[in-house]
Amino acid sequence: MPENWEIVKQRCKWGVDDRYQFTLKKNVSVDDLCIFYVTRTGIAGIYRVASSYQFDDTPIGWINKRGEPYTYPHRVHITPILLPEKPIPLDKEFRQELVFITDKGKTWQVFVFPSMVLIPEGDYRTIRKRLEQG
Protein backbone atom coordinates (compact mmCIF):
# COMPACT_ATOMS: atom_id res chain seq x y z
CA MET A 1 0.00 0.00 0.00
CA PRO A 2 1.38 3.42 -0.90
CA GLU A 3 0.79 4.78 2.61
CA ASN A 4 2.83 1.99 4.18
CA TRP A 5 5.55 2.37 1.55
CA GLU A 6 6.13 5.97 2.65
CA ILE A 7 6.65 4.77 6.22
CA VAL A 8 9.02 2.00 5.07
CA LYS A 9 11.14 4.62 3.28
CA GLN A 10 11.09 7.06 6.21
CA ARG A 11 11.79 4.52 8.94
CA CYS A 12 13.91 2.01 7.00
CA LYS A 13 11.85 -0.74 8.60
CA TRP A 14 9.85 -3.49 6.98
CA GLY A 15 7.34 -5.61 8.82
CA VAL A 16 4.99 -8.50 8.16
CA ASP A 17 1.99 -9.95 9.93
CA ASP A 18 1.81 -13.23 11.83
CA ARG A 19 1.30 -15.29 8.64
CA TYR A 20 4.87 -14.53 7.52
CA GLN A 21 6.61 -14.58 10.92
CA PHE A 22 8.25 -17.95 10.40
CA THR A 23 9.36 -17.12 6.86
CA LEU A 24 10.89 -13.83 7.95
CA LYS A 25 12.64 -15.41 10.96
CA LYS A 26 14.02 -18.44 9.16
CA ASN A 27 14.58 -17.31 5.58
CA VAL A 28 15.55 -13.62 5.64
CA SER A 29 19.10 -12.77 6.69
CA VAL A 30 21.28 -9.70 7.02
CA ASP A 31 22.54 -8.62 3.56
CA ASP A 32 19.64 -10.24 1.68
CA LEU A 33 18.19 -8.02 -1.02
CA CYS A 34 14.50 -7.10 -1.06
CA ILE A 35 12.59 -5.74 -4.02
CA PHE A 36 9.51 -3.79 -3.02
CA TYR A 37 6.33 -3.92 -5.06
CA VAL A 38 3.74 -1.36 -3.97
CA THR A 39 0.14 -2.32 -4.70
CA ARG A 40 -1.39 -0.47 -7.66
CA THR A 41 1.88 1.45 -8.09
CA GLY A 42 4.74 -0.80 -9.21
CA ILE A 43 8.28 -1.78 -8.31
CA ALA A 44 9.36 0.94 -5.92
CA GLY A 45 12.86 0.05 -4.81
CA ILE A 46 15.55 -2.35 -3.71
CA TYR A 47 16.76 -2.54 -0.11
CA ARG A 48 19.35 -4.58 1.75
CA VAL A 49 18.36 -6.25 5.02
CA ALA A 50 20.37 -4.54 7.77
CA SER A 51 19.27 -6.45 10.89
CA SER A 52 18.12 -9.82 12.00
CA TYR A 53 14.48 -10.49 12.84
CA GLN A 54 12.92 -8.45 15.63
CA PHE A 55 9.48 -8.54 17.21
CA ASP A 56 8.28 -4.98 17.76
CA ASP A 57 4.60 -4.12 18.01
CA THR A 58 5.16 -0.38 18.44
CA PRO A 59 2.74 1.44 16.12
CA ILE A 60 4.56 3.49 13.49
CA GLY A 61 1.65 4.45 11.25
CA TRP A 62 1.17 1.36 9.08
CA ILE A 63 -2.36 0.39 8.12
CA ASN A 64 -3.90 -2.88 6.95
CA LYS A 65 -5.83 -3.34 3.70
CA ARG A 66 -9.03 -2.17 5.44
CA GLY A 67 -7.33 1.12 6.33
CA GLU A 68 -7.10 0.28 10.04
CA PRO A 69 -3.94 0.81 12.11
CA TYR A 70 -1.77 -2.32 12.14
CA THR A 71 1.72 -2.82 13.54
CA TYR A 72 3.14 -5.59 11.29
CA PRO A 73 5.21 -6.61 14.32
CA HIS A 74 7.65 -9.04 12.71
CA ARG A 75 10.33 -6.66 11.44
CA VAL A 76 13.77 -6.09 10.03
CA HIS A 77 15.72 -2.89 9.47
CA ILE A 78 16.57 -2.21 5.85
CA THR A 79 18.94 0.07 3.93
CA PRO A 80 18.07 1.56 0.54
CA ILE A 81 20.10 0.33 -2.43
CA LEU A 82 18.13 1.69 -5.39
CA LEU A 83 15.08 3.95 -5.30
CA PRO A 84 13.75 5.21 -8.62
CA GLU A 85 12.21 8.66 -8.76
CA LYS A 86 8.84 6.99 -9.42
CA PRO A 87 7.84 3.32 -9.09
CA ILE A 88 8.08 1.27 -12.29
CA PRO A 89 4.71 -0.26 -13.25
CA LEU A 90 4.61 -4.00 -13.82
CA ASP A 91 3.01 -3.58 -17.22
CA LYS A 92 2.38 -6.47 -19.59
CA GLU A 93 5.73 -6.08 -21.37
CA PHE A 94 7.66 -6.04 -18.08
CA ARG A 95 5.77 -9.09 -16.75
CA GLN A 96 6.69 -11.04 -19.90
CA GLU A 97 10.37 -10.69 -18.96
CA LEU A 98 9.97 -12.10 -15.44
CA VAL A 99 10.23 -15.86 -14.92
CA PHE A 100 8.68 -15.90 -11.43
CA ILE A 101 5.38 -14.57 -12.82
CA THR A 102 4.29 -17.75 -14.54
CA ASP A 103 0.73 -16.62 -15.31
CA LYS A 104 1.11 -13.59 -17.54
CA GLY A 105 -2.66 -13.08 -17.85
CA LYS A 106 -5.31 -11.55 -15.63
CA THR A 107 -4.20 -13.23 -12.40
CA TRP A 108 -0.51 -12.18 -12.49
CA GLN A 109 -0.93 -10.20 -9.25
CA VAL A 110 -1.10 -13.39 -7.18
CA PHE A 111 2.67 -13.60 -7.72
CA VAL A 112 3.34 -10.25 -6.03
CA PHE A 113 0.49 -10.27 -3.51
CA PRO A 114 2.20 -12.27 -0.72
CA SER A 115 4.50 -10.34 1.59
CA MET A 116 7.52 -12.37 0.48
CA VAL A 117 8.33 -14.14 -2.75
CA LEU A 118 11.70 -15.63 -3.61
CA ILE A 119 12.65 -14.70 -7.15
CA PRO A 120 15.38 -16.03 -9.46
CA GLU A 121 18.65 -14.12 -9.80
CA GLY A 122 17.84 -13.37 -13.45
CA ASP A 123 14.59 -11.67 -12.46
CA TYR A 124 16.49 -9.60 -9.89
CA ARG A 125 18.88 -8.41 -12.62
CA THR A 126 15.97 -7.62 -14.96
CA ILE A 127 14.16 -5.62 -12.27
CA ARG A 128 17.31 -3.79 -11.19
CA LYS A 129 18.07 -2.82 -14.79
CA ARG A 130 14.54 -1.43 -15.21
CA LEU A 131 14.84 0.56 -11.97
CA GLU A 132 18.22 1.96 -13.01
CA GLN A 133 16.78 3.07 -16.36
CA GLY A 134 13.88 4.77 -14.59
Number of domains within the chain? 1
* Beta bridge partners of residue 88, listed in sequence order: 43
**Would you state the pLDDT for residue 81?**
97
What own/partner pairs with CB < 8 Å and gap ≥ 24 does 94-100 have? 94/130, 97/126, 98/123, 98/126, 98/127, 99/123
| 90: nearest Cα among 130, 129, 119, 125 | 130
Averaged pLDDT for residues 22-38: 94
Rounded distance between C-alpha atoms, residue 92 and residue 35, angstroms: 19
Helix (H/G/I), strand (E/B), else coil: 36: strand
Please name the amino acid found at residue 87: P
**Residue 134 confidence (pLDDT):** 80
Per residue in 35-45, pLDDT tens? 999 988 999 99
Structural domain span for residue 58: 2-133
CATH of the domain at 115: 3.10.590.10
